[in-house]
Amino acid sequence: MATIAHGDHGHHEESFLEKYIFSQDHKMIARQFLFTGIFWSIVGAAMSVLFRLQLGWPNETFPFLETLLGKWAEGGRISNEFYYSLVTMHGTILVFFVLTAGLSGTFANLLIPYQIGARDMASPFMNMLSYWFFLLAGLLMLFSLFLQTGAASGGWTMYPPLSGIRDAKVNAGSMWGTDLWFFSMSMFIVSSLLGGLNYIATILNLRTKGMTMWRLPLPVWALLFTAILGVLAFPPLLSAALLLEFDRIFDTSFYLSDIVVGGNLLDYKGGSPILYQHLFWFLGHPEVYIIILPAFGITSEVLSVNSRKPVFGYKAMVYAIGIIVLLGFLVWAHHMYMSGMNPFLGSIFTLFTLLIAVPSAVKVFNWLTTIWKGNLRLTPAMMFALGFVSLFISGGLTGLFLGNSAIDIPLHDTYFVVAHFHIVMGVAAFFAMFAGVYHWFPKMFGRYINDTLGYVHFYTTIISAYAIFIPMHFMLSLPRRYYVFSNYQTFNIFEDVSKFISVFAIISFMAQILFVVNIVYSALKGRKFTSENLNPWGSNTLEWTTPAEHIHGNWPGEIPEVYRWPYDYSTGHGNTDFRPQTEPLQEGEDAH
């Protein structure tokens, strides 16, 4: 690729619309994904604050809620119907719009062309479409919040029959709210497929000269596997959504059978709700790896650069991701141990699920060895990457309880599950995303981000996140998705703990607003990233060889050639403690 002359890229005058709105430039699309993701994370987090108000102070009224929400919070207390819409939307928005599109979309777009040495994606047009379908999906979901019958309220997993019976008597959210949810998800799946195919094609075909697969930086490996997972796992969800819409609109019986509503037997016969769960989790489980793999990649990169040490066991890291991807397709039914499927199946899924702990453990130990005997530069990005390691350990270990089918009998669908997945794929993935934003901020916005606010953001977030989720582990008897629980003498002992959690949820939310303020302020007024110091972190990867200002095609001249792997830090050769990939091997240097 390096031999292709640059031509007239970058000199072509773009209109405002081409440059900022219908952009086909990966750097702009990355920012579009980031800002849309930020918008959605604020919406999703604000929803969690609303339902934490209900959970923390179930007996108090907040008059401003009625002003804000009208009939959904009559008397200043969120109604139970709206509560379930909130938890459903919170889950959907954060899992799909923020941690899938926001995380993958931002960093796949930013890093893939930059780090493999490509001028742009294989299909910039498809890349643009991927963003616009994502935006459309988001708008549809947003509209559903304003429906008379309310947004979908069947939980983010949308299990039928609750989501399958289009009857306001059964569930108001199962009217248009659910239709919009599935239409929106269909758009989202299209977006994700367009993006994923493009990422795979780009990584496989557009690597610069010398950039062999074993010289790819780990974020690119992670994003490649993420894209493969997405492309293989999202279509079953599309089919699940279609079949469910058939059940809802044309009264077919894919998922429904023997249903009695208000004493009347409905006509559905022969379907099984468990089928939907299989189809859903066939995506749903790989989905958590779609979220966490880019986080692995970003963490590995940030830890290595800031430790001034090569990432330990580079190939093991890649193999570990590969094995996780493979096993990730064989464990979906561990979400269904208690669903009524054949218990014998549960035993097989237990085996594969606990096997995943092995490559995950390898990754954790490799990260710890990466910082061992390093010369750690504790930038905010590094702090968040370290935080990620802590969170991934904490959340990963509780997975060993839930993955074991026998222990899952009491724990299934309780706060223990909520605590587990919020730590391991919620907060942890967010931490990697923060690390990525802080680390590549100069590259994205041409200015440095304010470090002090970054540190404040870090400590506030990690303390409040643990203050929220550690107590939740001890609420392991309490079923999740309870609007109130004072009617149970078994559960009303959690009232004070619940208040404590709500307070920290609000603190955590405040810290995130600080982060957004920091991004906006620093992007406009921050210290300038100039051509005097194009490689502020002393990094080996190719993105730091591009000019300070964004140009179409990334490199003004030829694309640089690559001679080595990306993790030659502190090798003892050369004048600096890093050896960029563009530097040819010198005598005495080993290739990795």
Partner 1 sequence: MLNILLTLAVIILFYTVALFLGGIVERVRALKGEELDYTKNNQTHGKLFLIYGVFFLLMFAFSFKYMDFASLPKAASNWGVEIDELFVITAWITGIIFVVTHIALFYFVWKYRGEKDKKATFFAHSSTLELVWTSIPALAMAVLVVMGLKTWFNVFPNKKTLPANQLTIEATGKQFNWMLRYPGPDGVFGRRVLSKEFVSPDNELGIDWTDPASHDDFFASELYMVKGRPVRFNLGALDVLHSFYLPHFRMKMDCVPGVPTGIGFTPTMTDDETRELLKSNSHWASIDPETNEPRYVKFNYELACAELCGKSHYGMMMPAHVVSQSKFEEWTKTQKPFFEVNKDRIQAWLAARNLSAGASKGSNNYAAFNGGDTSKKALKLDSNMTKVEGATHNIADNKATEGKQ
Contacts (CB under 8 A) with partner 1, residues 3-62: none
C-alpha span between 4 and 206 (Å, rounded): 12
- Would you call 458 helix, strand, or coil by DSSP? helix
Angle value at C-alpha 56, between 89 and 422, nearest 5 degrees: 45
Determine, following the binding rule CB under 8 A, whether residue 147 of this chain makes contact with partner 1.
Answer: no
Tell me which residues in 105-134 interact with partner 1 (CB under 8 A). Answer: none
**DSSP category for residue 4:** S
C-alpha span between 208 and 3 (Å, rounded): 9
Among 46, 135, 362, 516, binds partner 1 (CB under 8 A): 362
Determine, following the binding rule CB under 8 A, whether residue 463 of this chain makes contact with partner 1.
Answer: yes
Determine, following the binding rule CB under 8 A, whether residue 330 of this chain makes contact with partner 1.
Answer: no
Choose the stretch contacting partner 1; rule: CB under 8 A; options: 147-155, 176-184, 191-199, 241-249: 147-155
Choose the stretch contacting partner 1; rule: CB under 8 A; options: 18-26, 141-149, 152-160, 325-333: 152-160
**DSSP category for residue 547:** -
Output the smallest distance, CB 569 to partner 1, in A.
7
Nearer CB in complex with partner 1: 129/523: 523
- Would you call 568 helix, strand, or coil by DSSP? coil
Nearer CB in complex with partner 1: 136/275: 275
Nearer CB in complex with partner 1: 226/502: 502
Binding mask 383-422 for partner 1 (x = CB under 8 A): x--x--xx--xx--xx-xx--xxxx-xx-xxx--------
Among 7, 75, 343, 547, binds partner 1 (CB under 8 A): 343
Strand partners, 578: 569
Q: What is the DSSP string of 13-55?
A: ---HIIIIIS---HHHHHHHHHHHHHHHHHHHHHHHHHHHHHH
Output the smallest distance, CB 119 to partner 1, in A.
29
Tell me which residues in 162-181 interact with partner 1 (CB under 8 A). Answer: 162, 165, 170-172
Among 4, 5, 17, 260, binds partner 1 (CB under 8 A): 260
Among 102, 138, 154, 177, binds partner 1 (CB under 8 A): 154
Tell me which residues in 228-247 interact with partner 1 (CB under 8 A). Answer: none
Task: Please give the C-alpha separations between residue 285 and each of 105, 192, 263, 587, in angstroms, as whole numbers.
Answer: 19, 16, 36, 48
Judged by CB under 8 A, the number of residues near partner 1 is 134
Closest listed residue to residue 504, CA positions, set 562, 463, 456: 463
Among 456, 516, 534, 548, binds partner 1 (CB under 8 A): 456
Nearer CB in complex with partner 1: 172/240: 172
Determine, following the binding rule CB under 8 A, whether residue 252 of this chain makes contact with partner 1.
Answer: no
Choose the stretch contacting partner 1; rule: CB under 8 A; options: 125-133, 219-227, 488-496, 552-560: 488-496
Nearer CB in complex with partner 1: 293/475: 475
Choose the stretch contacting partner 1; rule: CB under 8 A; options: 190-198, 225-233, 326-334, 510-518: 510-518
Output the smallest distance, CB 370 to partner 1, in A.
9
Tell me which residues in 73-102 interact with partner 1 (CB under 8 A). Answer: 80-81, 84
Task: Please give the C-alpha separations between residue 215 and each of 55, 212, 380, 539, in angstroms, as whole numbers.
Answer: 50, 5, 27, 14
CB < 8 Å & 24+ apart, contacts of 354-359: 354/400, 354/403, 354/404, 355/327, 356/324, 356/327, 356/328, 356/331, 356/403, 357/396, 357/399, 357/400, 357/403, 358/323, 359/319, 359/320, 359/321, 359/323, 359/324, 359/327
Binding mask 266-285 for partner 1 (x = CB under 8 A): --x-xxxxx-----------
Determine, following the binding rule CB under 8 A, whether residue 373 of this chain makes contact with partner 1.
Answer: yes
Output the smallest distance, CB 44 to partner 1, in A.
18
Could you give the dihedral angle defined by the CA atoms of residues 328, 319, 432 and 22, in that order, rounded to the nearest 10 degrees?
-80
List the structure tokens of 30: 């990355």
Choose the stretch contacting partner 1; rule: CB under 8 A; options: 38-46, 184-192, 473-481, 546-554: 473-481
Determine, following the binding rule CB under 8 A, whether residue 67 of this chain makes contact with partner 1.
Answer: no
C-alpha span between 470 and 492 (Å, rounded): 19
Region of 373 (left: φ > 0; alpha: ψ -120 to 50; beta: rest) is left
C-alpha span between 538 and 371 (Å, rounded): 16
Output the smallest distance, CB 155 to partner 1, in A.
5
Output the smallest distance, CB 92 to partner 1, in A.
14
Among 375, 547, 576, 584, binds partner 1 (CB under 8 A): 375
Binding mask 540-569 for partner 1 (x = CB under 8 A): ---------------------------x-x
Nearer CB in complex with partner 1: 422/552: 422
Determine, following the binding rule CB under 8 A, whether residue 308 of this chain makes contact with partner 1.
Answer: yes
- Would you call 195 helix, strand, or coil by DSSP? helix
Closest listed residue to residue 545, CA positions, set 124, 123, 202, 208: 208
List the structure tokens of 272: 């099984």
Output the smallest distance, CB 50 to partner 1, in A.
15
Half-sphere exposure of 347 (CA within 13 A, CB side): 3
Nearer CB in complex with partner 1: 143/156: 156
Determine, following the binding rule CB under 8 A, whether residue 313 of this chain makes contact with partner 1.
Answer: yes
Are 56 and 498 a contacting pair, CB within 8 Å? yes
Among 2, 231, 338, 516, binds partner 1 (CB under 8 A): 338
Determine, following the binding rule CB under 8 A, whether residue 136 of this chain makes contact with partner 1.
Answer: no
Question: What is the residue whose two structure tokens read 């955590």?
Answer: 508
Output the smallest distance, CB 36 to partner 1, in A.
24
Distance in Å from the first CA to the final CA of the chain: 23
Output the smallest distance, CB 513 to partner 1, in A.
8
Output the smallest distance, CB 84 to partner 1, in A.
6
Q: Which distant-in-sequence residues (6+ apart) come within 8 Å of 441 by Cβ?
A: 447, 448, 449, 519, 522
